[in-house]
Amino acid sequence: MIRWLCVLLLACASTLALAQVSDPAPLRFNDRAEEQRFHALVTELRCVMCQNQSLADSNAMVAHDMRREVLAWMRQGKTDAQIQDALVARYGEFVLYKPRIEEKTWLLWFGPALLLLAGGFVVARVVRRHAGDKTIPADDQQEW
């Protein structure tokens, strides 16, 4: 009895999952390679409407259209870089999840390395200063 109930529930659950696919015109891919390339591309693009979702995840109307546009551009033979450029020309750098390395983004890309270097420098200085004395520092009022 319980087993049949489980089967029934599972069947219901799967129909619910189907009902959630709300794209009015789902994209059709010619082959597996095209689908993979498309997914690689759209997961790296940001939805401009709901700005914390990728273009791949978003269900916003404009995201449907942008996905369709991306696929159309792919079929026109544009390269990934050309497609990204086309979207950047329309919506700005913001659409790229991974900012490009250019003068404006140097601090963003290399800032963490700079911080690491600075931290390493400080640690090296502290270690060198204490390298000689093996005694416990007299200044033990410090609590940190």
Nearer to another protein, 17 or 89 (CB): 89
| φ and ψ at residue 20, rounded to 5 degrees | -80, -15
| φ and ψ at residue 114, rounded to 5 degrees | -60, -45
Q: What tokens were used for 130?
A: 């204490």
Measured over the CA atoms of residue 121, residue 125, residue 127 and residue 128, the dihedral's sign is: positive
Residue 142 engages another protein in binding (rule: CB under 8 A): yes
**Residues 76-115 contacting another protein, CB under 8 A:** 88-92, 94
Whether the Cβ atoms of residue 111 and residue 99 lie closer than 8 Å to each other? no
Residue 51 engages another protein in binding (rule: CB under 8 A): yes
Nearer to another protein, 30 or 51 (CB): 51
- Residue ranges in contact with another protein by CB under 8 A: 48-49, 51, 61-62, 65-66, 68-69, 88-92, 94, 142, 144
